[in-house]
Amino acid sequence: MEGKSYQRLPRVKIRDMRDDYLKFELRDTDARVANALRRVMIAEVPTVAIDLVEIEINSSVLNDEFIAHRLGLIPLTSDRAMSMRFSRDCDACDGDGQCEFCSVEFHLRAKCHSDQTLDVTSKDLLSSDHTVVPVDFSDSSGFESSEQKGIIIVKLRRGQELRLRAIARKGIGKDHAKWSPAATVTFMYEPDIRINEELMDTLTLEEKKAWVESSPTKVFDIDPKTDKVVVVEPEAYTYDDEVIKKAEAMGKSGLVDITAREDSFIFTVESTGAIKAAQLLLNAIEVLKQKLDAVRLSEDTVEADDQFGELGAHMRGG
Protein backbone atom coordinates (compact mmCIF):
# COMPACT_ATOMS: atom_id res chain seq x y z
CA MET A 1 0.00 0.00 0.00
CA GLU A 2 2.91 2.29 -0.61
CA GLY A 3 2.08 5.71 -1.94
CA LYS A 4 -1.35 5.86 -0.30
CA SER A 5 -2.17 9.12 1.45
CA TYR A 6 -4.84 9.48 4.08
CA GLN A 7 -6.99 12.36 5.16
CA ARG A 8 -5.19 14.24 7.92
CA LEU A 9 -8.21 14.51 10.22
CA PRO A 10 -7.56 11.70 12.74
CA ARG A 11 -10.48 10.36 14.76
CA VAL A 12 -10.35 8.74 18.20
CA LYS A 13 -12.96 6.29 19.47
CA ILE A 14 -12.79 5.07 23.08
CA ARG A 15 -13.46 1.35 23.52
CA ASP A 16 -12.67 0.79 27.19
CA MET A 17 -11.72 3.29 29.87
CA ARG A 18 -10.72 2.95 33.50
CA ASP A 19 -8.54 5.10 35.74
CA ASP A 20 -5.38 3.16 34.90
CA TYR A 21 -6.37 1.59 31.56
CA LEU A 22 -7.49 2.89 28.18
CA LYS A 23 -8.22 1.16 24.90
CA PHE A 24 -9.06 3.30 21.89
CA GLU A 25 -9.08 3.39 18.10
CA LEU A 26 -7.10 5.93 16.10
CA ARG A 27 -8.36 6.23 12.53
CA ASP A 28 -7.74 8.27 9.38
CA THR A 29 -4.01 8.70 9.89
CA ASP A 30 -0.81 6.71 9.34
CA ALA A 31 1.80 4.85 11.39
CA ARG A 32 4.04 7.92 11.73
CA VAL A 33 1.41 9.85 13.65
CA ALA A 34 0.40 6.77 15.68
CA ASN A 35 3.99 6.10 16.70
CA ALA A 36 4.60 9.78 17.50
CA LEU A 37 1.58 9.71 19.83
CA ARG A 38 2.84 6.51 21.47
CA ARG A 39 6.32 7.92 22.04
CA VAL A 40 4.98 11.19 23.46
CA MET A 41 2.76 9.31 25.92
CA ILE A 42 5.75 7.30 27.15
CA ALA A 43 8.50 9.91 27.21
CA GLU A 44 7.23 13.48 26.92
CA VAL A 45 4.09 13.91 29.03
CA PRO A 46 5.30 15.60 32.25
CA THR A 47 4.68 14.25 35.73
CA VAL A 48 5.99 15.00 39.22
CA ALA A 49 8.54 12.71 40.90
CA ILE A 50 10.95 12.98 43.83
CA ASP A 51 14.23 14.36 42.50
CA LEU A 52 16.15 15.48 45.60
CA VAL A 53 16.44 13.67 48.94
CA GLU A 54 18.12 15.03 52.07
CA ILE A 55 18.64 12.29 54.67
CA GLU A 56 18.73 13.52 58.28
CA ILE A 57 18.83 10.16 60.06
CA ASN A 58 19.09 6.70 58.51
CA SER A 59 19.91 3.73 60.72
CA SER A 60 18.11 1.20 58.52
CA VAL A 61 19.84 -1.63 56.64
CA LEU A 62 19.54 0.29 53.34
CA ASN A 63 22.03 2.99 52.45
CA ASP A 64 21.00 6.57 51.63
CA GLU A 65 21.35 6.20 47.85
CA PHE A 66 19.21 3.06 47.79
CA ILE A 67 16.40 4.78 49.70
CA ALA A 68 16.64 7.90 47.50
CA HIS A 69 16.31 5.72 44.40
CA ARG A 70 13.25 3.94 45.80
CA LEU A 71 11.63 7.27 46.68
CA GLY A 72 12.16 8.55 43.14
CA LEU A 73 10.26 5.59 41.66
CA ILE A 74 7.13 6.12 43.78
CA PRO A 75 4.41 7.49 41.45
CA LEU A 76 2.94 10.79 42.62
CA THR A 77 -0.42 12.23 41.58
CA SER A 78 0.47 14.65 38.79
CA ASP A 79 -2.81 16.23 37.69
CA ARG A 80 -1.29 19.73 37.86
CA ALA A 81 2.06 18.80 36.31
CA MET A 82 1.15 20.41 32.97
CA SER A 83 0.73 23.80 34.67
CA MET A 84 3.85 23.54 36.84
CA ARG A 85 7.20 24.99 35.76
CA PHE A 86 10.33 23.01 35.05
CA SER A 87 12.83 23.83 37.80
CA ARG A 88 15.46 24.82 35.21
CA ASP A 89 13.05 27.41 33.76
CA CYS A 90 11.63 28.73 37.03
CA ASP A 91 12.45 32.41 37.61
CA ALA A 92 10.81 32.47 41.05
CA CYS A 93 13.64 30.46 42.62
CA ASP A 94 16.42 31.20 40.10
CA GLY A 95 16.52 27.57 38.96
CA ASP A 96 17.09 26.25 42.48
CA GLY A 97 13.98 24.07 42.08
CA GLN A 98 12.63 24.62 45.58
CA CYS A 99 9.62 26.91 45.29
CA GLU A 100 5.85 26.42 45.13
CA PHE A 101 5.76 26.97 41.36
CA CYS A 102 8.18 24.18 40.40
CA SER A 103 8.42 21.78 43.33
CA VAL A 104 6.62 20.03 46.18
CA GLU A 105 8.22 19.23 49.52
CA PHE A 106 7.84 15.92 51.36
CA HIS A 107 8.83 14.86 54.86
CA LEU A 108 9.17 11.40 56.32
CA ARG A 109 9.75 10.53 59.99
CA ALA A 110 9.59 6.92 61.15
CA LYS A 111 11.08 5.01 64.09
CA CYS A 112 10.49 1.47 65.29
CA HIS A 113 9.78 1.22 69.03
CA SER A 114 8.71 -2.45 69.22
CA ASP A 115 9.97 -5.94 68.40
CA GLN A 116 7.54 -6.03 65.47
CA THR A 117 9.05 -5.08 62.10
CA LEU A 118 7.85 -1.63 61.02
CA ASP A 119 7.02 -1.18 57.33
CA VAL A 120 7.79 2.36 56.17
CA THR A 121 5.64 2.97 53.10
CA SER A 122 4.66 5.70 50.67
CA LYS A 123 1.73 6.55 52.96
CA ASP A 124 4.26 7.82 55.51
CA LEU A 125 5.35 10.59 53.12
CA LEU A 126 3.79 13.91 54.16
CA SER A 127 3.31 16.36 51.30
CA SER A 128 3.25 20.15 51.42
CA ASP A 129 0.68 20.10 48.58
CA HIS A 130 -2.47 18.00 48.93
CA THR A 131 -2.74 17.68 45.13
CA VAL A 132 0.65 15.95 44.85
CA VAL A 133 0.72 12.82 47.01
CA PRO A 134 1.83 9.20 46.54
CA VAL A 135 -0.62 7.27 44.36
CA ASP A 136 -3.10 5.23 46.38
CA PHE A 137 -3.42 1.73 44.91
CA SER A 138 -5.94 0.44 47.46
CA ASP A 139 -9.38 -0.64 46.29
CA SER A 140 -12.76 0.21 47.78
CA SER A 141 -13.66 -3.38 48.67
CA GLY A 142 -12.33 -2.97 52.20
CA PHE A 143 -10.14 -6.06 51.90
CA GLU A 144 -6.87 -5.52 53.75
CA SER A 145 -3.90 -6.13 51.47
CA SER A 146 -0.26 -5.07 51.23
CA GLU A 147 -1.19 -2.56 48.50
CA GLN A 148 -3.51 -0.72 50.91
CA LYS A 149 -0.53 -0.05 53.16
CA GLY A 150 1.29 1.74 50.33
CA ILE A 151 4.55 1.02 48.53
CA ILE A 152 7.20 -0.26 50.94
CA ILE A 153 10.27 2.01 51.13
CA VAL A 154 12.19 0.23 53.88
CA LYS A 155 11.64 -2.04 56.90
CA LEU A 156 12.79 -1.01 60.35
CA ARG A 157 13.59 -3.08 63.45
CA ARG A 158 13.60 -1.90 67.07
CA GLY A 159 15.65 1.27 67.52
CA GLN A 160 16.11 1.94 63.80
CA GLU A 161 14.99 5.32 62.46
CA LEU A 162 14.52 7.09 59.17
CA ARG A 163 14.09 10.84 58.89
CA LEU A 164 14.33 12.72 55.61
CA ARG A 165 13.20 15.64 53.46
CA ALA A 166 12.47 15.21 49.75
CA ILE A 167 11.78 17.60 46.89
CA ALA A 168 9.57 16.51 43.99
CA ARG A 169 9.92 18.28 40.65
CA LYS A 170 8.33 18.26 37.23
CA GLY A 171 10.04 16.19 34.56
CA ILE A 172 9.54 13.90 31.54
CA GLY A 173 10.33 10.27 30.88
CA LYS A 174 12.94 11.23 28.29
CA ASP A 175 15.09 12.57 31.15
CA HIS A 176 14.45 9.69 33.57
CA ALA A 177 12.04 6.74 33.64
CA LYS A 178 10.67 7.83 37.04
CA TRP A 179 8.84 10.67 35.28
CA SER A 180 7.14 8.41 32.72
CA PRO A 181 3.37 8.33 33.34
CA ALA A 182 2.88 5.16 31.28
CA ALA A 183 3.47 1.60 32.39
CA THR A 184 2.99 0.51 28.78
CA VAL A 185 1.63 1.96 25.53
CA THR A 186 1.15 -0.29 22.52
CA PHE A 187 -0.70 -0.12 19.23
CA MET A 188 -1.48 -2.57 16.48
CA TYR A 189 -2.81 -2.27 12.96
CA GLU A 190 -6.49 -3.15 12.83
CA PRO A 191 -6.74 -6.37 10.78
CA ASP A 192 -9.08 -6.62 7.79
CA ILE A 193 -10.13 -10.27 7.52
CA ARG A 194 -12.10 -11.52 4.51
CA ILE A 195 -13.13 -15.15 4.11
CA ASN A 196 -13.62 -16.59 0.63
CA GLU A 197 -17.11 -18.01 1.20
CA GLU A 198 -17.21 -19.98 -2.07
CA LEU A 199 -13.95 -21.75 -1.27
CA MET A 200 -14.97 -22.25 2.37
CA ASP A 201 -18.19 -24.01 1.29
CA THR A 202 -16.09 -26.71 -0.43
CA LEU A 203 -14.70 -27.81 2.97
CA THR A 204 -16.31 -30.44 5.15
CA LEU A 205 -17.34 -29.61 8.71
CA GLU A 206 -14.32 -31.47 10.08
CA GLU A 207 -11.98 -29.56 7.76
CA LYS A 208 -13.55 -26.27 8.86
CA LYS A 209 -13.00 -27.21 12.52
CA ALA A 210 -9.38 -28.14 11.82
CA TRP A 211 -8.83 -24.84 10.02
CA VAL A 212 -10.46 -22.79 12.80
CA GLU A 213 -8.38 -24.59 15.46
CA SER A 214 -5.16 -23.87 13.57
CA SER A 215 -5.34 -20.27 14.77
CA PRO A 216 -3.45 -19.83 18.09
CA THR A 217 -6.00 -17.22 19.18
CA LYS A 218 -9.79 -17.24 19.06
CA VAL A 219 -10.26 -15.29 15.82
CA PHE A 220 -12.68 -17.63 14.04
CA ASP A 221 -15.54 -19.87 15.08
CA ILE A 222 -18.22 -22.00 13.46
CA ASP A 223 -21.83 -20.85 13.56
CA PRO A 224 -23.76 -23.81 15.07
CA LYS A 225 -26.88 -22.97 13.06
CA THR A 226 -25.38 -22.52 9.59
CA ASP A 227 -22.05 -24.39 9.98
CA LYS A 228 -20.36 -21.37 8.41
CA VAL A 229 -16.99 -20.05 9.58
CA VAL A 230 -17.34 -16.56 11.02
CA VAL A 231 -14.91 -13.96 12.36
CA VAL A 232 -15.62 -13.51 16.08
CA GLU A 233 -12.61 -11.50 17.32
CA PRO A 234 -10.55 -9.89 14.53
CA GLU A 235 -8.33 -8.03 17.01
CA ALA A 236 -7.17 -11.32 18.49
CA TYR A 237 -5.28 -12.01 15.27
CA THR A 238 -1.54 -11.70 15.86
CA TYR A 239 -0.38 -11.73 12.21
CA ASP A 240 1.07 -15.22 12.69
CA ASP A 241 -0.17 -16.50 9.28
CA GLU A 242 -1.06 -19.90 10.80
CA VAL A 243 -4.52 -20.01 9.19
CA ILE A 244 -3.01 -19.05 5.82
CA LYS A 245 -0.42 -21.85 6.10
CA LYS A 246 -3.15 -24.31 7.11
CA ALA A 247 -5.27 -23.32 4.11
CA GLU A 248 -2.29 -23.84 1.79
CA ALA A 249 -1.59 -27.23 3.37
CA MET A 250 -5.21 -28.19 2.68
CA GLY A 251 -4.82 -27.14 -0.94
CA LYS A 252 -7.15 -24.17 -0.47
CA SER A 253 -4.86 -21.22 -1.12
CA GLY A 254 -6.79 -17.95 -0.97
CA LEU A 255 -9.27 -19.29 1.61
CA VAL A 256 -8.81 -16.16 3.67
CA ASP A 257 -7.32 -12.76 2.92
CA ILE A 258 -5.87 -10.88 5.89
CA THR A 259 -4.41 -7.41 5.54
CA ALA A 260 -3.55 -4.62 7.94
CA ARG A 261 -5.53 -1.41 7.64
CA GLU A 262 -2.75 1.11 7.41
CA ASP A 263 -4.97 4.01 8.47
CA SER A 264 -6.49 2.38 11.55
CA PHE A 265 -4.81 1.51 14.85
CA ILE A 266 -5.88 0.03 18.16
CA PHE A 267 -4.08 1.49 21.18
CA THR A 268 -3.74 -0.03 24.64
CA VAL A 269 -2.56 2.33 27.39
CA GLU A 270 -1.73 1.42 31.00
CA SER A 271 -0.94 4.25 33.41
CA THR A 272 1.35 4.16 36.44
CA GLY A 273 -1.37 6.01 38.34
CA ALA A 274 0.36 9.38 38.28
CA ILE A 275 -2.17 10.51 35.67
CA LYS A 276 -5.43 8.82 34.69
CA ALA A 277 -5.09 6.96 31.40
CA ALA A 278 -7.64 9.18 29.62
CA GLN A 279 -5.88 12.34 30.83
CA LEU A 280 -2.58 10.86 29.68
CA LEU A 281 -3.96 10.69 26.13
CA LEU A 282 -5.26 14.27 26.26
CA ASN A 283 -1.95 15.57 27.66
CA ALA A 284 -0.03 13.68 24.97
CA ILE A 285 -2.13 15.27 22.23
CA GLU A 286 -1.49 18.70 23.78
CA VAL A 287 2.28 18.07 23.92
CA LEU A 288 2.23 16.84 20.31
CA LYS A 289 0.41 20.02 19.24
CA GLN A 290 3.03 22.14 21.00
CA LYS A 291 5.81 20.28 19.21
CA LEU A 292 4.10 20.77 15.84
CA ASP A 293 3.67 24.49 16.60
CA ALA A 294 7.41 24.65 17.31
CA VAL A 295 8.13 23.02 13.94
CA ARG A 296 5.81 25.46 12.19
CA LEU A 297 7.56 28.39 13.91
CA SER A 298 10.91 26.96 12.86
CA GLU A 299 9.76 26.74 9.24
CA ASP A 300 8.57 30.36 9.40
CA THR A 301 12.02 31.32 10.73
CA VAL A 302 13.75 29.57 7.82
CA GLU A 303 11.47 31.35 5.36
CA ALA A 304 12.30 34.68 7.03
CA ASP A 305 16.01 33.92 6.69
CA ASP A 306 15.53 33.16 3.01
CA GLN A 307 13.70 36.44 2.55
CA PHE A 308 15.78 38.77 4.74
CA GLY A 309 19.12 36.93 4.83
CA GLU A 310 21.51 38.02 7.58
CA LEU A 311 19.07 40.63 8.88
CA GLY A 312 16.61 37.97 10.08
CA ALA A 313 19.34 36.02 11.88
CA HIS A 314 20.70 39.22 13.45
CA MET A 315 17.27 40.18 14.79
CA ARG A 316 17.08 36.78 16.57
CA GLY A 317 20.54 37.28 18.02
CA GLY A 318 22.15 34.82 15.57
Range 21-44 average pLDDT: 94
Tens digits of per-residue pLDDT, 271-291? 999 999 999 999 999 999 999
Please give the average per-residue pLDDT across 106-134, as a whole number. Answer: 95
Distance, CA of 62 to CA of 164 (rounded, Å): 14
Q: Which residues contact 266 (CB under 8 A, 6 or more apart)?
A: 15, 23, 24, 25, 26, 187, 188, 190, 235
Average pLDDT of the segment spanning 70-80: 95
Tens digit of each residue's pLDDT (9 = 90 or more) over 152-203: 999 999 999 999 999 999 999 999 999 999 999 999 999 999 999 999 999 9
Q: What is the pLDDT of residue 301?
A: 66
Q: pLDDT tens for residues 47-59?
A: 999 999 999 999 9
Domain ranges of the chain: 48-136+149-180
Phi, psi (rounded to 5 degrees) for 202: -80, -10
pLDDT at 267: 97
Q: What percent of the chain has pLDDT over 70?
A: 87
Model confidence at 99, pLDDT cuts 50, 70, 90, reads confident
Q: How many CB atoms lie within 10 A of CB 101?
A: 13
Q: Mean pLDDT, to the nearest integer, of 205-211?
A: 93
Q: Is the pLDDT of residue 87 over 60?
A: yes
Evaluate if residue 307 carries a pLDDT over 90. Answer: no
DSSP secondary structure, 78-122, as one string: -TTGGGSPPGGG-TTTTT-S-STTTEEEEEEEEE--SSSPEEEEG
State residue 294's pLDDT score.
Answer: 86
pLDDT digits (tens, 9 = 90+) for 211-262: 999 999 999 999 999 999 999 999 889 889 999 999 999 999 999 999 999 9
139 confidence band (pLDDT: 50, 70, 90): low
**Measured between alpha carbons, how far is 260 from 141 in angstroms, rounded to an integer?**
42
∠ CA 69-64-49, rounded to 5°: 30
The residues facing 25 across adjacent strands are 13, 266
Of the pLDDT bands very low, low, confident and very high (cuts 50, 70, 90), residue 137 is confident
The architecture that CATH gives domain 48-136+149-180 is: Beta Complex (2.170)
Q: Give the pLDDT band of residue 148 (cuts 50, 70, 90).
A: low
Average pLDDT taken over every residue of the chain: 88
Q: Which secondary structure element, helix H or strand E, spans residue 193, and what is its range?
A: strand 182-195
Mean pLDDT of 72-89: 91
